Structure 1
Amino acid sequence: MSDTGERSRKKPTDEPSLEDYLIRDPGSFALNLARMVEQAGKAAAAWIEPREKGLKSDLMAEPLADMVRTLSRLSEYWLSDSTRALEAQTHLFSSYLAIWANSIRRAAGESTEDIAAPDPKDKRFQDEDWSKNAFFDFLKQVYLVTARWALDLVEKAEGLDDHTRHKAAFYVRQLVNAASPTNFILTNPELFKETVAANGMNLVNGMRMLTEDIIAGKGDLRLRHTEYTHFRLGENVATTPGKVVARNDLAEIIQYAPVTDEVFKRPLLICPPWINKFYILDLSPEKSFIRWLVAQGHTVFVISWINPDERHAHKDWEAYIREGIQFALDTIGRRTGERKINAVGYCVGGTLLAAALALMAKEGDERVGSATFFTTQVDFEHAGDLKVFVDEAQVSALEEAMFRDGYLDGSKMLSAFNMLRSGDLIWPYVVNNYMKGKNPVPFDLLYWNADATRMSAANHSFYLRNCYLENRLARGKMVLARHRISLADIGIPVYNLAAKDDHIAPALSVFAGSQCFGGDVTYVLAGSGHIAGVINPPEKRKYQYWIGGKAEGNFADWLDQAQEHPGSWWPHWQEWIEARDAEKVSPRHLQDDDSQVLGDAPGSYVMIRI
């Protein structure tokens, strides 16, 4: 959102038609409003019932308290000096007066220029009446001016530490996004016209969907982002042929069937994040990274993490390394006879892999010959907006709740991730679902995004404290299995992929983390964000990637010198892998009568939903 976008000139002849705003059947409209209120009551009951029965406890007290504390610090700066406060208010009110004066001039037949215009990328104000209708145009400009003013208050406040300023900017953005006139029927011309045209039936449908989503969330709102019934695991997502070849209490190990006449001698192990399910790497066949790997001749093994419950409360990082990564390495050795493998880690799965490799270096375990990290942070100094949720007070409150239940409910993490992009992942769906009363379109990526997982208490507590709160992994102070581990002990070749627009593992953070490893690091920057930057098949010919020298010095300087290449980074990574070991062997076929086979991919653990 910006008031620096291209300004538009309004002509007095741009008069809207009011016919679309007139209710033609007051009786039907009133009846549907009554039905909407009835449905809203059912939604409220669905929210209240599990709380009255003690089945649902809210974790909102501390986050809300933190927001109040943070914004109070911001208010203290501006209100402590009357001159400063007056200047800020005068700046805002002068903008309002300019918008009002333009409205009067426009009504008198003069051409006017917007005081504030939305960013061209902002999709919220696309209806023509945001410009043609004087009322909605006024609301739009007042909102844009106010939003920019509020964000400026954060930027210009002095005396705030970096963390407080970061949190204040985040919370103000949430409030700004929530207050948009596009989110309300009477202040959104598109919603207003649709409601009149449907005689309010859209609101009835919307409240029905709201009730269904609260019931689906067992008392919390589980905001739907896609048509979930369209997707079925193993049928139209996660369809690459393979078998579950090992299983323990924490993980299933999947081996995928070869399709080439020869395969690389070194098998490939993928360690996905446990915060989400592994099939982000195996969506529809045309998007599947796993299917592409198999087609390149890799023998692919993937860890599929359990969706934990109270039984896994004490499974910490050492357990995830021993029973996840090293269990997979043992399985690969047994299945292939190989003692050297290539390893890939994605997001927090990459963070765990990095810690595992540092521990294995201490213990003399040399089974991993190269490591690839996708949008992985190991240095959390520049960790982005997720740091807003991590300070001592918030972590302590979260730990109290987690250790009571044994896990963190997956809906909590899903909500946090959605808040990072509330303008894309929350409010457009609130408007579409609950005000327009429309089902969202089928989209495999958003189906996966909503398939959230729980986090075991010990695991998540260790992660938050050692990585986000204290940055111990980058500082060489993390302790695992009584070893103080150091990333500098990892001397194997590393391919470290960042994404330019990543809001979860910022490119700068991944760049800084590249300097922690002890061996040769190839830093590559992909276009787009945390998911699309990684899941970018060459056939799509989308985005680009940058390669350059060593990841050292200033990130901006590195980017200035880097070479931009169109399309997917996948072939570049394949060349990197082959340059380190391109030896081929006969394919490792899977047989149904194999005594180690426990079932077909994608396995049973991935089917466990929250």
Structure 2
Amino acid sequence: MLARMTGGLSPAGLGAMWADWAVHLATSPGKQGELWEKALRKSLRFRQYALQCAMSGGTASSCIEPLAQDRRFRNEAWQQPPFNLLYQGFLLTQQWWYNATTDVRGVTRAHERAVQFAARQVLDVFSPSNFLPTNPEVLARTRDEMGQNLVRGAQNFWEDWERAIASRPPAGVEDFRVGETLAATPGKVVCRNRLMELIQYEPATSKVRPEPILITPAWIMKYYILDLSPENSMVKYLTEQGFTVFMISWKNPGPEDRELSMDDYRRLGPMAALDTVERITGSDRIHAVGYCLGGTLLSIAAAAMARDGDDRLSSITYFAAQSDFTEAGELMIFISESEVTFLEDMMWEQGFLDAKQMAGAFQMLRSNDLVWSRMLRTYLLGERDVVNDLMAWNADTTRMPYRMHSEYLRKLFLNNELSTGRYEVDGRPVALSDIRAPIFAVGTETDHVAPWRSAYKVHMQTDTDVTFVLTKGGHNAGVVSEPGHPRRHYRVHTSRHSDTYLPPDAWVERAMLKDGSWWPEWAAWLAERSTQPAAPPPIGLPGNGQTLPDAPGSYVMEG
């Protein structure tokens, strides 16, 4: 009950975090003196700015600039008094609290990051951009529309509240339908077990590469992020490039699936799919692809296959995937022994972790973009965001079974067993350094889930050629970056297994910067590691009497 009330945040963990910071700050007179000095200097700077504004009629050089990613105060109206004083004072306060919560001697790195994060979240609540009387953009809109924006905002709020109470999807999502406007690439479910359906897509060319592509998406998301609308479907793009594509569609687990483990996902997921793909195509050379958590699972499977002499993987591709979790981004703020125990208590009672219980953590990571700016547009400006296919997919949530998620958090996040050679498959540890298949790894510049420097560690973990791509965008939008997508760029560089290690920043300097989508780069890389095109393989297993549905299948439809 306590875990539900706090949204899965452990009071004990939060208390330990705060106490660690507070006690060490209280016993650090040098840091206290530094903070007093900073407070005085910021006060004097703000006073000087206010005096210059008063003497010049409101125009003066800002005493602090917002961070590059902070878009709250970009409108020219914020440069006029008194709003310029409000936002400048807020930014100075925000900066002071950053100084107060960082570089306190003795505080653990994890607690420092958590306290700094918590302070930022609290301050964001009180940003002048969030309130009608202190936001010049909202005031101007209210004046121009005679308050109709607030009327629309109230209607939006009421509609959102009704949908939340009734557990209905957000407004506008109903215009996107799986199997019609989303996940509409023609194909057939060719294998089904209790955990996944395997989809084989119809060929789009008269000849295809003999080596098929098998994609393992994360089960924290529905698979069709890689098969959204026809114009940005990665699956459709790959079939048009002459590849035979298979996709795993995970079942949305319920209470009856509480004991499914990480190894169940490996055996019933990529391993079962590999066997089926080989039987259908007749090819014992397969291009394997893993996205996010699916990439982590693929790493485990590939390492186990290499250990056991199974060389069916012709190549391995990772999309925003991690196998070393020492720098797993701001999500690590929520991962500690106390937090995992708290989540386990909540999952034990219901048998799974519900998507709604995860959504809050992801939104908090980018509260300016995902919470406050959305509330500003929707409820104060009275504007509804135009729902796109990616937003509709994001609203189609999934669950994670108790045992699997507990093992994932403990073995990978807390203990980092995979990167240190302690993760066991079939009773024996696996080593990522056993992998010899060439790797194509994609990191995204603004990824809050799998930071690109964390994904880049694949260079140190494997003993093979690695082509690494760093693309513009975040965890999802950077991957769904089809040709023709405006204002896209990426960097690419290949490190041979015999090359010396290149640190991430040095890699950025050496990598070639290219405009456009990285998809053609990947397709060409796959083609170089494939043999000459031939007639497409049959759809499905020959002589299989089981009646299975067309793509997108039935598992993806389960709520």
Task: Please indicate, yes or no, whether the TM-score normalized by the shorter chain is above 0.5.
Answer: yes
Aligned mates of 2:468, 2:75 — CA distance in 1 = 43
Name the counterpart of 2:164.
Answer: 214
Aligned mates of 2:414, 2:320 — CA distance in 1 = 19
Structure 2 residue 426 is the aligned partner of structure 1 residue 481: yes
Name the counterpart of 2:522.
Answer: 573
Aligned mates of 1:163, 1:344 — CA distance in 2 = 32
Name the counterpart of 1:562.
Answer: 511
The CA deviation at 1:136 is 1.6
Name the counterpart of 1:176.
Answer: 123
Structure 2 residue 382 is the aligned partner of structure 1 residue 433: no
What SS does the corresponding residue of 2:338 show, helix, strand or coil?
helix
Counterparts of 1:392-411 in structure 2, within 5 Å, are 392-411=337-356
Counterparts of 1:459-538 in structure 2, within 5 Å, are 459-538=404-483
Name the counterpart of 1:279.
Answer: 224
Aligned mates of 1:139, 1:404 — CA distance in 2 = 47
What SS does the corresponding residue of 2:484 show, helix, strand or coil?
helix
Counterparts of 1:251-330 in structure 2, within 5 Å, are 251-330=196-275
What SS does the corresponding residue of 1:238 show, helix, strand or coil?
coil
Map Cα deviations across residues 533-583 of structure 1 (whole Å, 9 max, x no partner): 222222336212221434824222222222222222222222222222223
Aligned mates of 2:30, 2:333 — CA distance in 1 = 31
Aligned mates of 1:187, 1:591 — CA distance in 2 = 62
Name the counterpart of 2:114.
Answer: 167
Map Cα deviations across residues 441-481 of structure 1 (whole Å, 9 max, x no partner): 11211221222210011111111111111110001100122
Stretch moving more, 315-324 or 188-197:
188-197
Aligned mates of 1:281, 1:334 — CA distance in 2 = 24
Change (3 A) 1:71 1:194: farther
The CA deviation at 1:586 is 0.6
Map Cα deviations across residues 187-223 of structure 1 (whole Å, 9 max, x no partner): 22223344552264245324303422431448xxx8x
- One of 22, 43, 48 as aligned partner of 1:75: 22
Aligned mates of 2:522, 2:547 — CA distance in 1 = 31
- One of 602, 605, 609 as aligned partner of 2:552: 602
The CA deviation at 1:597 is 5.3
Counterparts of 1:363-378 in structure 2, within 5 Å, are 363-378=308-323
Q: Is contact 1:92–1:145 with CA below 8 Å preserved after alignment? A: no
What SS does the corresponding residue of 1:474 show, helix, strand or coil?
coil
What SS does the corresponding residue of 2:314 show, helix, strand or coil?
strand
What SS does the corresponding residue of 1:462 show, helix, strand or coil?
helix
Stretch moving more, 307-316 or 512-521:
512-521
The CA deviation at 1:180 is 1.3
Change (3 A) 1:61 1:348: closer
Aligned mates of 1:65, 1:185 — CA distance in 2 = 36
Structure 2 residue 465 is the aligned partner of structure 1 residue 547: no
Structure 2 stretches of 5 or more lacking a match?
none
Name the counterpart of 1:12.
Answer: none
The CA deviation at 1:439 is 2.5
What SS does the corresponding residue of 1:138 show, helix, strand or coil?
helix
Map Cα deviations across residues 366-421 of structure 1 (whole Å, 9 max, x no partner): 33222111111011122111111111111111111112211001112222222222
The CA deviation at 1:150 is 1.1
Map Cα deviations across residues 104-129 of structure 1 (whole Å, 9 max, x no partner): 44334455322223346532124433
Q: Is contact 2:467–2:492 with CA below 8 Å preserved after alignment? A: no
Structure 2 residue 405 is the aligned partner of structure 1 residue 456: no
Aligned mates of 2:23, 2:403 — CA distance in 1 = 38
Name the counterpart of 2:303.
Answer: 358
Structure 1 stretches of 5 or more lacking a match?
1-50
What SS does the corresponding residue of 1:472 show, helix, strand or coil?
coil
The CA deviation at 1:271 is 0.2
Counterparts of 1:82-97 in structure 2, within 5 Å, are 84-85=31-32, 87-97=34-44
Name the counterpart of 1:107.
Answer: 54
Name the counterpart of 2:78.
Answer: 130
- One of 103, 114, 117 as aligned partner of 1:156: 103
Stretch moving more, 487-496 or 316-325:
487-496
What SS does the corresponding residue of 1:547 show, helix, strand or coil?
strand
Aligned mates of 2:434, 2:30 — CA distance in 1 = 56
Aligned residues: 550
What SS does the corresponding residue of 2:492 show, helix, strand or coil?
strand
Change (3 A) 1:149 1:323: same
Structure 2 residue 188 is the aligned partner of structure 1 residue 243: yes
What SS does the corresponding residue of 2:456 show, helix, strand or coil?
helix
Percent identical: 36
What SS does the corresponding residue of 2:327 show, helix, strand or coil?
coil
Aligned mates of 1:189, 1:92 — CA distance in 2 = 27
Name the counterpart of 1:14.
Answer: none
The CA deviation at 1:605 is 1.1
Stretch moving more, 171-180 or 260-269:
171-180
Name the counterpart of 1:17.
Answer: none
Map Cα deviations across residues 257-278 of structure 1 (whole Å, 9 max, x no partner): 1010101111110000001111
Change (3 A) 1:270 1:165: same
Q: Is contact 1:210–1:434 with CA below 8 Å preserved after alignment? A: no
The CA deviation at 1:90 is 4.7
Aligned mates of 1:431, 1:238 — CA distance in 2 = 32
AA paired with 1:579?
E
User: What's the TM-score, normalizing by structure 2?
Assistant: 0.91
AA paired with 2:304?
L
What SS does the corresponding residue of 2:259 show, helix, strand or coil?
coil
Q: Is contact 1:100–1:138 with CA below 8 Å preserved after alignment? A: no
Q: Is contact 2:200–2:540 with CA below 8 Å preserved after alignment? A: no
Instruction: Report the aligned-residue RMSD.
Output: 2.6
Q: Is contact 1:261–1:586 with CA below 8 Å preserved after alignment? A: yes
AA paired with 1:211?
W
Q: Is contact 1:384–1:503 with CA below 8 Å preserved after alignment? A: yes
AA paired with 2:76?
E
Q: Is contact 1:209–1:433 with CA below 8 Å preserved after alignment? A: no
Change (3 A) 1:231 1:480: same
Q: Is contact 1:490–1:518 with CA below 8 Å preserved after alignment? A: yes
AA paired with 2:159?
M
What SS does the corresponding residue of 1:475 show, helix, strand or coil?
coil
The CA deviation at 1:130 is 1.5
User: What's the TM-score, normalizing by structure 1?
Assistant: 0.84
AA paired with 2:99?
D
Aligned mates of 1:147, 1:93 — CA distance in 2 = 15
Stretch moving more, 100-109 or 361-370:
100-109
Change (3 A) 1:121 1:497: closer
